[in-house]
Amino acid sequence: MLRDPSIKYRPFPPIVLPDRQWPSRTITKAPRWLSTDLRDGNQALIDPMDAEKKQRFFDLICRVGIKEIEVGFPSAGATEFDFISGLVRENRIPDDVTVQVLTQARRDLIDTTFESLRGAKTGIVHVYNAVSPAWRKIVFGMSRDEVKQIAIDAAMMLRDNAAAQPDTDWRFEYSPETFSTAEIDFSVEVCAAVMDVLRPTADRPIIFNLPATVECATPNVYADQIEYFCRNIPNRDAVIVSLHTHNDRGTGVAAAELGMMAGADRVEGCLLGNGERTGNCDLVTVAMNLYTQGVDPGLDFSDIDEVVKTVEYCTNIPVHPRTPYAGDLVFTAFSGSHQDAIKKGFAAQEAKNDTLWEVPYLPIDPADLGRSYEAVIRVNSQSGKGGVAWVLEQDKGLKLPKRMQADFSRHVQRLADESSRELNAADIWGAFVQAYRLEQPQRFALGAYDETRAPNGDRIFAGSIEVDGVQQSVSGRGNGLISSVVAAIKEGFGIDLDVSDYAEHAIGHGSGAQAAAYVECRTPDGRTIWGVGIDEDVATASVRAILSAASAVE
Ligand code: KIV
Ligand code: ZN
Q: What is the block-wise mean pLDDT of the chain (554 residues), using blocks of 10 residues? A: 97 96 98 98 97 98 98 96 98 98 98 98 98 97 98 98 98 98 98 98 98 98 98 98 98 98 99 98 98 98 98 98 97 93 95 96 97 88 91 95 96 94 95 93 91 95 91 96 97 96 94 95 96 96 96 89
Q: Which helix or strand (DSSP H or E) is residue 193 part of?
A: helix 184-198
**Which ranges of 207-292 does DSSP label H, i.e. alpha helix?**
219-232, 252-261, 283-291
CA dihedral 357, 358, 361, 367 (to 10 degrees): -30
Question: Is 209 a pocket residue for ligand 1 (Cβ < 6 Å)?
Answer: yes
Q: Which helix or strand (DSSP H or E) is residue 98 part of?
A: strand 98-104
Beta-carbon contacts of residue 376 (< 8 Å; ≥ 6 apart)? 331, 332, 333, 342, 362, 366, 390
Residue with the nearest Cα to atom 1 of ligand 1? 213
Sheet holding 498-507, edge to edge: 498-507, 514-522, 528-535
Angle at 527 between CA 411 and CA 502, to 5 degrees: 80
Question: Is 211 a pocket residue for ligand 1 (Cβ < 6 Å)?
Answer: yes
According to the model, what pLDDT value does residue 374 have?
78
Angle at 194 between CA 192 and CA 200, to 5 degrees: 85
According to the model, what pLDDT value does residue 373 have?
84
Give the CA distances from residue 383 to residues 335, 345, 362, 414, 419, in Å, rounded to whole numbers and listed in that order.
5, 17, 17, 12, 14
DSSP per-residue letters across 399-436: ---HHHHHHHHHHHHHHHHHHTS-B-HHHHHHHHHHHT
How far does residue 43's CA lie from ligand 2's centre (Å)? Answer: 9
Nearest C-alpha neighbor of 271 from the set 494, 35, 27: 35
Q: What is the pTM of this model?
A: 0.87
The answer to whether the Cα torsion of 491, 497, 499, 504 is positive or negative is negative
Q: Which atom number of ligand 1 is nearest to the Cα of residue 276?
A: 1
Residue 520: count other Cβ atoms within 10 Å of its Cβ.
Answer: 20
Question: Pairing mode, if any, of strands 514-522 and 498-507?
Answer: antiparallel
Question: Is 244 a pocket residue for ligand 1 (Cβ < 6 Å)?
Answer: yes
Q: Which atom number of ligand 1 is nearest to the Cα of residue 246?
A: 1
Nearest C-alpha neighbor of 61 from the set 30, 87, 88, 97: 97
Question: Is 181 a pocket residue for ligand 1 (Cβ < 6 Å)?
Answer: no
How far does residue 14's CA lie from ligand 1's centre (Å)? Answer: 22
Q: Nearest ligand to the C-alpha of residue 176?
A: 1
According to the model, what pLDDT value does residue 468 have?
79
Nearest C-alpha neighbor of 416 from the set 406, 428, 404: 428
Question: Is 39 a pocket residue for ligand 1 (Cβ < 6 Å)?
Answer: no
Angle at 466 between CA 463 and CA 472, to 5 degrees: 55
Beta-carbon contacts of residue 6 (< 8 Å; ≥ 6 apart)? none
How far does residue 323's CA lie from ligand 1's centre (Å)? Answer: 23
Do 269 and 282 contact (CB within 8 A), yes or no? yes
According to the model, what pLDDT value does residue 141 have?
97
Residue with the nearest Cα to atom 3 of ligand 1? 213
According to the model, what pLDDT value does residue 442 have?
83
Q: Nearest ligand to the C-alpha of residue 182?
A: 1
Give the CA distances from residue 384 to residues 86, 122, 335, 341, 389, in Å, rounded to whole numbers and listed in that order.
57, 58, 7, 11, 9
* Distance between CA atoms of residues 496 and 524, nearest Å: 7
Q: Nearest ligand to the C-alpha of residue 73?
A: 1
How far does residue 213's CA lie from ligand 1's centre (Å)? Answer: 5
Do 398 and 516 contact (CB within 8 A), yes or no? yes
Nearest C-alpha neighbor of 98 from the set 69, 125, 57, 126: 69
**What are the percentages of helix, strand and coil residues in the chain, rounded to 5?**
45, 20, 35
Q: Which atom number of ligand 1 is nearest to the Cα of residue 268?
A: 7
User: What residue numbers does the annotated binding site cover?
Assistant: 40, 244, 246, 280
The answer to whether the Cα torsion of 438, 441, 442, 448 is positive or negative is positive
Pocket test for ligand 1, best of 124, 127, 177, 247 (most atoms within 8 A of CB): 177
Domains detected in the chain: 31-315 (3.20.20.70), 336-436 (1.10.287.1400), 444-551 (3.30.160.270)
Do 103 and 109 contact (CB within 8 A), yes or no? yes
Q: Which atom number of ligand 1 is nearest to the Cα of residue 130?
A: 3
User: What residue numbers does the annotated binding site for Mg(2+) cover?
Assistant: 40, 244, 246, 280
Do 286 and 66 contact (CB within 8 A), yes or no? no
User: Long-range contacts for 9-18 (Cβ within 8 Å, ≥24 apart)?
Assistant: 12/216, 12/217, 12/218, 12/221, 14/221, 14/224, 15/184, 15/221, 15/224, 15/225, 15/228, 17/224, 17/227, 17/228
Question: Is 269 a pocket residue for ligand 1 (Cβ < 6 Å)?
Answer: no
